[in-house]
Amino acid sequence: MRAFDRLVDLGGVLAALLLVAVMLLTTIKVVFRYVLNVGLIGADQISGTLLLYIALFGAAWVLRRNEHVTIDLLLGRVGARTRWVLTLASATVGAAVCLVVTVFGVMEVVASIRGGVNIPAEIEMPRAVNLIIIPVGFLFLTIQFVRQALDAAKAGEVPPPPSAQV
């Protein structure tokens, strides 16, 4: 699992670097438009693709750090056993949903590659470029949710969220 953790950390770093790239690209686009009076072809399309990559590279990293949005109001008010059940159930459902998205994502990527589907936009590129990150990102989320479920199952109880500990 250390190798997986390194991959997840690499995804977090890549998400941060891509965010910087989107900010630079946007700044360059503004300079081209308002200073040079020239449009920058494909900047919005590239930024949109990068935003998808940022979200999916960062999702497993955030989940591993337990920094996803949770309902602390509820978890802070229930007993340890109920909190454990809710944590185990949410991790199991999360893993199942992410696995379904992974499988269908792979099917769609394969169909796009086989069909030679391109995105009809300023920069014509294969649709698979946008799609490939979906099954990859959701596979990482699936693995991380399974790890959460296994950790919860082993622990037998989950401590209250930090915001509920006073």
Percent share of the chain, pLDDT over 70: 92
Contact yes or no for 101/138 (Cβ under 8 A): yes
Q: Which of 82, 97, 111, 109 is nearest to 139 (CA)?
A: 97
Residue 90 predicted with pLDDT over 80: yes
The three state secondary structure string of 46-57 is: HHHHHHHHHHHH
Beta-bridge mates of residue 125 = 119
Residue that wins the pLDDT comparison between 108 and 86:
108
Residue ranges of domains in the chain? 2-164
What string of DSSP letters covers 148-162? HHHHHHHHSS-PPPG
pLDDT of residue 166: 43
Q: Which of 107, 106, 109, 152 is nearest to 130 (CA)?
A: 109
What does pTM read for this prediction? 0.83
Q: Which of 98, 101, 87 is nearest to 150 (CA)?
A: 87
pLDDT digits (tens, 9 = 90+) for 97-152: 999 999 999 999 999 999 999 988 888 889 999 999 999 999 999 999 999 899 88
CB atoms within 10 A of CB 94: 19
For 66: left if phi > 0, alpha if psi spans -120 to 50, otherwise beta; the answer is: left
pLDDT of residue 24: 96
**Residue 132 tokens, joined:** 């490939």
CB atoms within 10 A of CB 77: 11
